[in-house]
Structure 1
Amino acid sequence: MVDERVAGGPEGRRDRRGLLVAALAGALAALLAGHRAVPNVHGLGSLVDSVTPLLGLGVPLLALAAALRRSRRALLAVALPAVVWLALYGGAWLPPAAAAGPAVVRVASQNLRAGNPDPAATVGAVADAGADLIGLQEVDDDDRVGAALDRRYPHRAAVSTVGLWSRWPIRESRGVDTGLGWDRALRAVVAAPRGDLVVYVVHLGSARAGQTATRDETLTALAAAVRADPAPRLVVLGDLNTASTDRVFAPLVRLLHDAQAEAGQGFGFTWPAQLPVTRPDHVLYRGLTPTAAGVLHTPDSDHRAVTAGFRW
């Protein structure tokens, strides 16, 4: 009897069709595991790093293709990128191991979007979530923002288009040079109920396809400022224009913890607001214990807000 697989019968044809799916599955697994090896030429490596969590969407698509081809070989191959993705990012979906007890301080960060038609509505939604400290970026209408926040947050520090609104007194504040040629970051010392808390509100340089040099330089400058800061308790709020999976984020990873990674659930994507696929907005910290972290969909901005609670 002639073996159908050798003679090109139905089973053999299915196996050959499954080879393409298996090859794609192997390539996806290699990219997931080795995305940092992609050369960062014109920001290509950073882009791949940033979208790597989304590459997991390829797993069900490949599994469907393998099922349609009725190829056991392809289905087995698809298990490889699935295992790699789970090893890298599956932990983000586990229940957070946040500290028990109420937060002593609750913070939020929101990029308002330049030209926001109703910034008061945006910041009002953030305030209604119960933050004690609100860091804002792309503030171009101080009057409307102030009118919405000043009653609940009587203490304010601002530099250029970034600002901090606080329920508690701000002892001092100053601009922080991140290499843009003007200050688009600030450092403030907040007199929180259990002691001083240093807060940075930051908007780093923009990143575009093939143009990440300015963003990379500003991130390096921010890391240098944080490294030199002696404050025992410190929080960074802001739009850093990069995801925590990006290789250029490494200098901050070595200095600070990520509230979403430690006390949130899921990736916490924030941009674009209607259907977010990445997280340029962050709450980073040291010297504190996170109790919660999340994302808030606010009106009229192209970014969602990020929130976190801490105790010490």
Structure 2
Amino acid sequence: MHSLLLGNGINRVALQRGWYEILRELATTFGGIDLVPHIESKPLSVFIEELCARSTMPFQKAEHKVKVEFARLLKQIDSVEAHTRVCGQFNVIMTTNYDFTVEEAFAGPLHSPAFLAPESRYSLFRRHTAGKKEIWHVHGDVARPGSMVLGFDHYAGYLQKIRNYVTDSVEVKGHPHGRVGSPVKSGNLEFTDNRSVYSWVDYFLRDHIHIVGLGLDFTEIDLWWLLLHKRRRKHQTGQVFYYHVSLDKEPDETPITSLLRSLNVTVVPVVAGSYNDCYLKAADLIETKIASLPELYPTPLRLDENQHSESQIHRSSVKQKAFKFPRL
């Protein structure tokens, strides 16, 4: 089972307007024109925090207005070949993108939300469907600007919810039991068949994961925590592949790729003359990886199952002989 974690790399190739232009317009709208020279060198979350902090409005109101405007600027992205070549190989696509470009590439306007539980601010269960594909907007979507994870406060709250879901449980309105925890935690890998509520987090922990077009800035603490948790799991059922794109020459090692290797992530260099060609080449490499790993890594029987099996064998193969006390 293979799943995709997609960042905005392909979107930046597809943008009719440059990423810099979009952020510049956002900065101008909210009186942050002096922030423009440093836009490209700052994480997006830091830039958003600066815009909100400078506002004279209450923080929550400022944050909402920034998110609404950012959502408006992101709505017009047309898909390119790299979208279909990369995403077409997966039935489960997790994306940090807020727009619906992937859905529209495969289903046009016929894609639809298919949330597994009601959410407003966070996105554990924020699933959309496009034909047979599941697209999970792990950082929210433009249709609900309040769900878009952009600032530190939102990241911190989201990580807390993810951690609770993985290690314990979270409240789910309308669920018969009131609370739901990750099925993978207890070894249930067939959760799509036997659970009505599950999350993209479960796919992430279970599957072979291919990461494409994602810079993985260290502010994305939710994803880094999940990578660490996946690495720490006693029995890993899936490998992680990170496709590191570079123009014309082999990519240099970075603090991010160094940490990824430490977390047992396979860093796959992708070199081409343009970013568009890099992602098309990544699609070919993904196809090869999927063919070489058709199944999840097997997990051993749990201890209680082993003990039960051994005791059954012992009882069936060893019989106690009759014993009689001698007569006195």
Whether TM-score is above 0.5 comes out as no
Q: TM-score, normalised by structure 2?
A: 0.32
Give the structure with the higher percent strand: 1
Give the structure with the higher percent helix: 2
Q: TM-score, normalised by structure 1?
A: 0.34
